[in-house]
Amino acid sequence: MDTMKALVLEKKGEIILKEVPLPRTKKGEALIRVKACGICGSDIPRIFGDVAYYYPSIPGHEFSGEIIAVGEGTENRSLLGKRVTVFPLLPCGQCRYCESGYFEICDHYGYIGSRQDGAFAEYVVVPLKNCLELPDNVSYECGALTEPSAVTFHGLQRLRPPFAGTVAVFGLGPIGVLFGFWAKTAGATALIGFDVDEVKLSFAKSMIFDDVQVPNEENTRKMIEKYTAGIGFDYTVEASGNNHALVNTLKIVRKLGEVLLLGNQEKEVKLTSGEMNLILRKELTLRGTWNSCFAQLGSDWKSVLEYQRLKKVDFSHLISHRIFLEEAPQVLRAMRDRKLPYTKVLIIPGGGIISC
Ligand SMILES: [Zn+2]
Ligand SMILES: [Zn+2]
Average pLDDT score over residue span 235-240: 97
Q: Is there a domain that residue 278 lies in?
A: yes
38: closest CA among 253, 241, 342?
342
Q: Which residue among 250, 267, 288 closes a domain?
A: 288
Q: Which residue among 273, 288, 303 closes a domain?
A: 288
Residues 54 and 116 occupy one common structural domain: yes
**99 Cα–ligand 2 center, Å:** 7
**315 Cα–ligand 2 center, Å:** 31
Q: Which residue among 269, 288, 307 closes a domain?
A: 288
**71 Cα–ligand 1 center, Å:** 27
Is pLDDT above 50 for 355?
no
Residues 276 and 332 occupy one common structural domain: no
**294 Cα–ligand 2 center, Å:** 13
DSSP 324: -
**174 Cα–ligand 1 center, Å:** 10
CATH code, 296: 3.90.180.10
Q: Is there a domain that residue 86 lies in?
A: yes
Residues 163 and 245 occupy one common structural domain: yes
> Which tens digits make up the pLDDT trace of 73-131?
999 999 999 999 999 999 999 999 999 999 999 999 999 999 999 999 999 999 999 99
Residues 65 and 145 occupy one common structural domain: yes
Q: Is there a domain that residue 140 lies in?
A: yes
Among all bound ligands, the one having the nearest atom to the CA of 91 is 2
Residues 224 and 342 occupy one common structural domain: no
Q: Which domain holds residue 233?
A: 159-288
Among all bound ligands, the one having the nearest atom to the CA of 111 is 1
Among all bound ligands, the one having the nearest atom to the CA of 102 is 2
191: closest CA among 237, 153, 255?
237
Q: How far is residue 43's CA from residue 313's CA, in Å, rounded to a whole number?
A: 26
DSSP 229: T
Among all bound ligands, the one having the nearest atom to the CA of 175 is 1
Per the DSSP assignment, residues forming a β-bridge with 86 are 131
Residues 8 and 145 occupy one common structural domain: yes
Residue 267 is predicted with a pLDDT of: 86
Residues 169 and 240 occupy one common structural domain: yes
Residues 296 and 259 occupy one common structural domain: no
**76 Cα–ligand 2 center, Å:** 23
Q: Is there a domain that residue 10 lies in?
A: yes
Residues 174 and 301 occupy one common structural domain: no
> Which tens digits make up the pLDDT trace of 171-202?
999 999 999 999 999 999 999 999 999 999 99
Q: Is there a domain that residue 354 lies in?
A: no
pLDDT band at 350 (very low <50, low <70, confident <90, very high): confident
pTM score, whole prediction? 0.95
Average pLDDT score over residue span 51-75: 97
151: closest CA among 292, 245, 279?
292
Residues 46 and 97 occupy one common structural domain: yes
Contact of 305 with 132, CB cutoff 8 Å:
yes
In degrees and rounded to multiples of 5, residue 45 shows phi and psi of -65, -30
Residues 224 and 278 occupy one common structural domain: yes
Residue 126 is predicted with a pLDDT of: 98
Residues 26 and 133 occupy one common structural domain: yes
Q: Is there a domain that residue 353 lies in?
A: no
Among all bound ligands, the one having the nearest atom to the CA of 107 is 2
Is pLDDT above 80 for 354?
no
Total number of domains in the chain: 2
Residue 1 is predicted with a pLDDT of: 75
Q: Is there a domain that residue 264 lies in?
A: yes
